[in-house]
């Protein structure tokens, strides 16, 4: 599986870009999975429901299965899993798009919109940021600047980088 990241500061447009990239790339006939890194507790279960009760009783994994999808809830009861551990659990696909995990060692595109964050760009300090997707000109950039409003061109860039261009 090939892995490519979309990083940026909060409210920069990462999720919107991810959604557009998945639509574009799957529309080209490739299979895509996504990983979203979050910094808060996530719980798909509801207290008191059957699967919640299974986890509370000590189950390591609980699978919620229906006719349309299934979800595996894994209790790791330890430090946050690293990206490699998460990726190892995925079914094979052509491309995994990762939102977040900005400091991990995989190629990435940084989403940058002026005025959204008072933090500096990540790209100058991370050689794995291969391009910046922005809705503003960014003179002096050492990597390609891609138009944030052209997800097809961004998908082209990622597919070329990963060798998935057909």
Torsional sign, CA 72, 94, 3, 140: negative
pTM of the model: 0.89
For residues 104 and 83, what is the distance between their CA atoms, to the nearest angstrom?
A: 8
**What DSSP letter does each residue of 24-83 carry, written as one string?**
HHHHTT--EEEEE--SS----S-TTSHHHHHHHTT-SEEEEE-SS-EEEEE---SSPPPH
| Core vs surface per residue 71-86: b (16+ CB within 10 A) or e | eebeeeeeeeeebeeb
- What are the residue boundaries of the structural domains of the chain, listed by start? 2-48+81-162
Mutual angle of helices 151-162 and 14-27, in 10-degree steps: 70
Q: Which CATH architecture has domain 2-48+81-162?
A: 3-Layer(aba) Sandwich (3.40)
Instruction: Walk along the chain (166 residues) and give the pLDDT tens digit of each residue.
Output: 999 999 999 999 999 999 999 999 999 999 999 999 886 566 667 788 888 889 888 888 888 888 998 888 888 777 888 899 999 999 999 999 999 898 899 999 999 998 887 889 999 999 999 999 999 999 999 999 999 999 999 999 999 999 998 6
């Amino acid at each position: 599986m090939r892995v490519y990241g979309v990083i940026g500061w909060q409210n920069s447009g990462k999720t919107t870009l991810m959604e557009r990239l998945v639509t574009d790339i799957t529309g080209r006939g490739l299979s895509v999975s996504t990983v979203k890194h979050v910094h808060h507790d996530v719980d798909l279960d509801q207290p008191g429901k059957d699967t919640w009760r299974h986890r509370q009783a000590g189950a390591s994994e609980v699978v919620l299965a229906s006719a349309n999808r299934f979800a595996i809830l894994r209790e790791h009861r330890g430090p946050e899993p690293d990206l490699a551990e998460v990726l190892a659990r995925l079914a094979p696909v052509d491309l995994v798009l990762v939102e977040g995990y900005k400091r991990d060692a995989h190629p990435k595109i940084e989403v940058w919109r002026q005025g959204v964050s008072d933090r500096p760009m990540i790209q100058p300090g991370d050689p794995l940021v291969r391009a910046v997707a922005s809705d503003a000109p960014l003179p002096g950039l050492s990597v390609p600047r891609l138009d944030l409003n052209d997800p097809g061109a961004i998908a082209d860039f990622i597919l070329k980088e990963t060798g998935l261009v057909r």
